[in-house]
Structure 1
């Protein structure tokens, strides 16, 4: 995985890591992508829902310490647009809840970890009331280290596991190696940790593994995080109108493209095509199943899936796609510079890039303006969008941890889950004022020391409800949240939304080749017929049996579809 770099022809797995880094580095905790797909042993995994789940879940108590400027709606994040006033920051953790013990934490880390005894770590530990000792591991190879550690008899007190690392035997290891936090957090137990009680219930639902509440979640907005980003400044200059159907997009792409002038319309728009044609989510295996006339159908079996691929293929075939995407360059290729240069005017990527592109061009290109197109229904009507998962990264506590250590971990999570606008949030995300950041016109700006020390660590333990906050670009914050709210109005929840499902090991690799085949088809290297054959093979090799297995889960647990 390559953090901090978006793919020219992006894959879910590469984008997951880059988005996690964006979340750790940008104020507000950007929405994260979901897991690439769970796999492992067990017949039912963590599919507890309904009445059984309610017994396990923490009582939800909204956090009213700070009111957002734009309240969450339709599954969106909450938005904060105003500048910060350090003197007016609220306190969400009035007293230390830690028991003063030592807590070892293993988590993925992108970059060079700072020394353990640094001012940021000391300040955080002081607020928590515990001595947190970090065992940071390279995020790019984290799955290898994770497997080795979980197979050993010596496990740190806390292990952070992103959803995209939950392959192979990891799900069964989670169930066998990590503690049930239910005795501490279920029901009113969470009220002892108010910031944890304020985490949305859907995120806690996702934290049930093997019938027990085991994870401390990093919540995410469930509205699709894939935005068709476009150069609004150039659209305004040329008089281009934002398309409202697949045909209008194709006509606009033809109008924009002039290869001789080194200008193309767009990047690889496959993800937007899936949304425009109403294809079930491909971000995690369970979300790829939907009910059609009472029958459980996988996304790859639908006509909409083939139509989305064919439409994307036509974009490539007509020469409207920038050559970098045509070549399918690796995940290390950042589309930013050529997007900024105007070589292409539209590309789809994580919503965090709306702010990221704006911030990086603010000084060198003041006329530059990026915006996000509303996802259009392919026929010009309203789109049918599918919810992503409400939590995607989790921290787990070792079964061997004493009650005192568990309490220290919960005290730690209660600090890191503090909402935007609190002293604890500022400390977790920016460090110590004057040492790690300064405030300029209400905007926190990290110092070199802050950039070296306040990264990738404490933010991985637990997070507040999804938040977008960019006081340096309040218009971007408002636009992002309002985009989520509009798209949220068209978003439905598929049958297995919010469930933590572990597929049996025998079907682990059943759909591994589909993403590559998709990319080959849209680039003209393979044909739609090749996909139809692949789907037929998928059915006979286990897809139909997997359908029956999911049907049993659905019958036993009920549907989350909405």
Structure 2
């Protein structure tokens, strides 16, 4: 399921971009579909956890190179509010680990890919000691390209696979065609790559495919990334108080909506509603399941799921939702409606907070926004559920030589350098004087930097989750502190942290539910239609799938 469509590619470096690249910021949430179904004969179904996983996982050694201004807590990212002067940058990779060899890497790219001989790529290759040639593919159609490449015998040395592309035959291809990294990273072996050793264990757990450690994961906070964002400036101007319950929200929404003035209280709020009412996550099929009162229950079977849909339906029925959302124009347009003041609240991936603030800084000096805290169904504390701690993966071909694998890990270790290091600055900003300049103590990208230092190396290695917006430190504080508050109410479902490959005969069983949800909240279908669909789902294989997941849980245990 995709809470919000992205207008630009997901990139951890977007957390660090300056105002010069505001227009390139992620407009909504990155697609979160991490379906684990599909596959053909020969792939290994299920998941690996418990003792079996422990022998595969790298040892964890936290980085102490640079201390964050706001330490991570309750599953949050760490926060960095200040830019570190060039002269004070630390070194996390004291010597080149690359052998001078060559690697071809295929990855998604949103926009026009730069040429391979650009100054940024050249500088990165020189610093790492590996000559990387990028095979950047259109991010919008990446799943098609990925499927075709993995079905062929001609696979690049390294391939990036977003979690939302783990569908169809791709999971089986991963197990069949990508190398086991365990001999290089499991246990204390990872200490040869200190920046990779600082990646949280729960993220590495997601890198286990087919019983082997095959992927370098992009770690992220497990706290829900969909936040109810509101126009704090307009709330203050109108004298509104932030709602503290679903009932308060509906009452406020009716008061705040003024269609004649083209102002509506909110955009589509379905994904926040799931959080308000405590529904299990919809972002990964394995997270749909949780042990409850001794029984394994799916999110679509719960009262919380139905209550969230019914409440969202009431918003639409009260005409407090923007007409474009009613007609289904969601995603990036929702953020545009929000910044234009046409809606006062919208579901936003919290990483988009910086994008809106930096964009509006040059257009509307009064613009101010924030994320309000998620409340429970009765206005009390919420019950929130963790999302997966990694959702983009990078693999190396089974045909790669031992030296190519080591060169790949050299690239990953360099790119996983923490904030405040020379390696991080090069990876995040490129070449000073070419890709960026220091202005008033902040790195600001040139147009060349915007075009070239974007995507690619982002996917090969990443430090532990962090937020760093030195140009807007209040945004950094706002995001991290919101994560910390919400993290205090966050629990983990039974299959948290596991990469589960479902049997292909059931992998598409629930594909129609998102459309049904959207029809129900807009009044085109009824709650009773959802209940009937759940009944049909059970008969068509849902109960059998429950038994399969229960046996998996009994056999392997959870990763919590």
SS at match of 2:16: coil
CA distance in 2, matches of 1:43, 1:170: 10
- The answer (yes or no) to whether the contact 2:57–2:187 under 8 Å persists in 1 is yes
- The answer (yes or no) to whether the contact 2:415–2:460 under 8 Å persists in 1 is yes
TM-aligned CA deviation for residue 40 of structure 1: 2.1
Q: Counterpart of 1:417?
A: 416
The two structures have a TM-score, normalised by structure 2, of 0.95
Cα shift readout 1:159-192 (whole Å, capped 9, x = no counterpart): 0000011100111110110000000000110000
SS at match of 2:425: helix
CA distance in 2, matches of 1:26, 1:200: 19
Q: Counterpart of 2:226?
A: 226
- The 3 A distance-change label for structure 1 pair 32 and 185 is farther
**Residues 141-290 of structure 1: pairs in structure 2 closer than 5 A:** 141-290=141-290
SS at match of 2:388: coil
- Structure 1 vs Structure 2 CA RMSD: 1.6
CA distance in 1, matches of 2:447, 2:232: 33
TM-aligned CA deviation for residue 238 of structure 1: 1.4
CA distance in 2, matches of 1:556, 1:45: 13
Query: Can you give the 5+ residue segments of structure 1 that lack an aligned partner in the other structure?
Result: 1-10
Q: 1:38 pairs with 36, 39, 42, which one?
A: 36
- The answer (yes or no) to whether the contact 1:76–1:485 under 8 Å persists in 2 is yes
SS at match of 1:196: helix
CA distance in 1, matches of 2:77, 2:328: 32
Cα shift readout 1:376-409 (whole Å, capped 9, x = no counterpart): 0010111000000000101101011011100100
TM-aligned CA deviation for residue 499 of structure 1: 0.5
- The 3 A distance-change label for structure 1 pair 330 and 261 is closer
Higher alpha-carbon deviation: 488-497 or 22-31 = 22-31
**Residues 352-363 of structure 1: pairs in structure 2 closer than 5 A:** 352-363=351-362
CA distance in 1, matches of 2:184, 2:477: 37
CA distance in 1, matches of 2:491, 2:123: 43
Cα shift readout 1:8-44 (whole Å, capped 9, x = no counterpart): xxx61763x5574353444189996644311123786
Say whether residues 1:395 and 2:394 are aligned partners: yes
Work out the number of aligned pairs and report it.
549
- The 3 A distance-change label for structure 1 pair 321 and 387 is same
Q: 2:2 pairs with 4, 12, 22, which one?
A: 12
- The answer (yes or no) to whether the contact 1:34–1:389 under 8 Å persists in 2 is no
Q: Counterpart of 1:463?
A: 462
Q: Counterpart of 1:4?
A: none
SS at match of 1:499: coil
CA distance in 1, matches of 2:558, 2:443: 44
SS at match of 1:556: helix
CA distance in 2, matches of 1:560, 1:188: 20
CA distance in 2, matches of 1:13, 1:122: 37
Cα shift readout 1:74-123 (whole Å, capped 9, x = no counterpart): 00001000123111111111100011111110111111111111111110
CA distance in 2, matches of 1:376, 1:497: 23
- The answer (yes or no) to whether the contact 1:442–1:471 under 8 Å persists in 2 is no
SS at match of 2:254: helix
- The answer (yes or no) to whether the contact 1:69–1:81 under 8 Å persists in 2 is yes
Q: Counterpart of 1:532?
A: 531
Q: Counterpart of 1:3?
A: none
SS at match of 1:335: helix
- The answer (yes or no) to whether the contact 1:223–1:488 under 8 Å persists in 2 is yes
SS at match of 1:455: coil
CA distance in 2, matches of 1:503, 1:227: 29
Cα shift readout 1:455-479 (whole Å, capped 9, x = no counterpart): 1111111211111000010011001
